[in-house]
Homo-oligomer: A and B are copies of this chain.
Amino acid sequence: MSWYKGTGNESGIVLSTRVRLARNSADFPFPVRLGIKDKEQVCLAVKEAIADYVDDTLTYTDMSALTPTEAVSLAEKHLISPEFAYERDGRALLLSENEDVSIMLCEEDHVRIQVIFPGLALSEAYEKADKIDNVLEKKLNYAYKEPIGYLTQCPTNLGTGMRASVLMHLPALSRKGAMRRLSATVAKLGLTLRGSFNEGGDGAGNIYQLSNQVTLGISEAAALQNLSSIAMQIVTQEKQARALLVKDEDFIDKIYRSWGILRSAYKLTSQELMSLISFVSVGACEGIIDVPCDRLTAAAIELQPASLSVAENKKLTQNQRDILRAQKVKELLE
């Protein structure tokens, strides 16, 4: 099931876990040095190599066949990078039916294997990515050099080529103003914590991404262990902060009002939806509001601008989207 429709470990706080492996073939220059035709060659080579992977049915999509809106919708669901959505020529995507595996071809690197699961599931996600990696490794002549490890376009990925991240909903820590300090702390431990869902990185809807920074001179297992243990510490801190927060009548009021507005507004911007869902999610997790958390996450993801337009299969103005979003959220939460 798509990560935003499912539940997993600690999924009241950890929305999803993603493991991404960057790989390149030694037979081609990095994509940045390739023309469109050459990129298409790389894509086809990977498509052939992946045929031996039989655990999932992967659909191959030529990115240039997608409309900009369709591509942005994939980025809104975290299945591809925003950059991959904007520049589509010569690029392709392999996507599993339930959207847990997505492989970007000719993004910054030749291959970017990505596995996303709901909740906190670092070893499970890594295991699956690793399995796909092993299949590709047999056919593709990976660019790999001891003692560095995997070679990548950007030096920050050299070594394991692995970026693992967890997407966390941290309204209580945000509200008490703890995010800046927390970011500084995790930075010293080789991790990055930053706001997701907006450019400024200040956590629209109080959603933050925690990811590993170090790929060189560290094993995948050690990096995952480090990330997992710090994620669990943040989960604990958020739980403690929430326990205090739900005794605050002003916050309770905010939860109930958000729930009221969510089910009654005539128009809702994407930004406001995210913010309302953040409050209601805490209410749902703490047993104040009777609605399943995963439905809230699904609404927040599926009702983003491009995804909404794709689902309706037509071009919509912002105002039309805002009205439709308000209708849809009522249906989704009924």
A57 at the interface (CB under 8 A from B): no
A267 to B257, CA, bound (A): 9
A261 to B260, CA, bound (A): 5
Distance between A320 CB and nearest chain B CB, rounded to angstroms? 11
- Asked if A256 contacts B265 (CB within 8 A), the reply is yes
Distance between A290 CB and nearest chain B CB, rounded to angstroms? 13
Query: What residues on B are CB-neighbors of A64 within 8 Å?
Result: none
- Asked if A259 contacts B267 (CB within 8 A), the reply is no
Distance between A19 CB and nearest chain B CB, rounded to angstroms? 40
A1 to B265, CA, bound (A): 35
A27 at the interface (CB under 8 A from B): no
Partner of A267, one of B253, B261, B326: B253
Distance between A292 CB and nearest chain B CB, rounded to angstroms? 18
A53 at the interface (CB under 8 A from B): no
A86 at the interface (CB under 8 A from B): no
A134 at the interface (CB under 8 A from B): no
A295 at the interface (CB under 8 A from B): no
- Asked if A260 contacts B265 (CB within 8 A), the reply is yes
Query: A319 — nearest CB in chain B belongs to which residue?
Result: B249
Query: What residues on B are CB-neighbors of A252 within 8 Å?
Result: 266
Distance between A329 CB and nearest chain B CB, rounded to angstroms? 12
Query: What residues on B are CB-neighbors of A266 within 8 Å?
Result: 249, 252-253, 255-257
A264 at the interface (CB under 8 A from B): yes
- Asked if A249 contacts B267 (CB within 8 A), the reply is yes
Interface residue ranges of A225-274 to B (CB < 8 Å): 249-250, 252-253, 255-257, 259-267
A253 to B261, CA, bound (A): 10
A316 to B260, CA, bound (A): 26
A323 at the interface (CB under 8 A from B): yes
- Asked if A259 contacts B249 (CB within 8 A), the reply is no
- Asked if B260 contacts A263 (CB within 8 A), the reply is yes
A267 to B260, CA, bound (A): 13
Query: What residues on B are CB-neighbors of A267 within 8 Å?
Result: 249-250, 253
Distance between A271 CB and nearest chain B CB, rounded to angstroms? 15
Interface residue ranges of A255-304 to B (CB < 8 Å): 255-257, 259-267
Query: What residues on B are CB-neighbors of A259 within 8 Å?
Result: 264
- Asked if B264 contacts A256 (CB within 8 A), the reply is yes
Interface residue ranges of A119-144 to B (CB < 8 Å): none
Distance between A294 CB and nearest chain B CB, rounded to angstroms? 22
Query: A263 — nearest CB in chain B belongs to which residue?
Result: B260
Query: A251 — nearest CB in chain B belongs to which residue?
Result: B266
A252 to B319, CA, bound (A): 13
Query: What residues on B are CB-neighbors of A257 within 8 Å?
Result: 260-261, 264-266
- Chain A interface (Cβ < 8 Å from any Cβ of B): 249-250, 252-253, 255-257, 259-267, 319, 323, 326
8 contacts between A and B (CB under 8 A): A249-B266, A249-B267, A249-B323, A255-B266, A256-B264, A257-B266, A260-B260, A260-B261
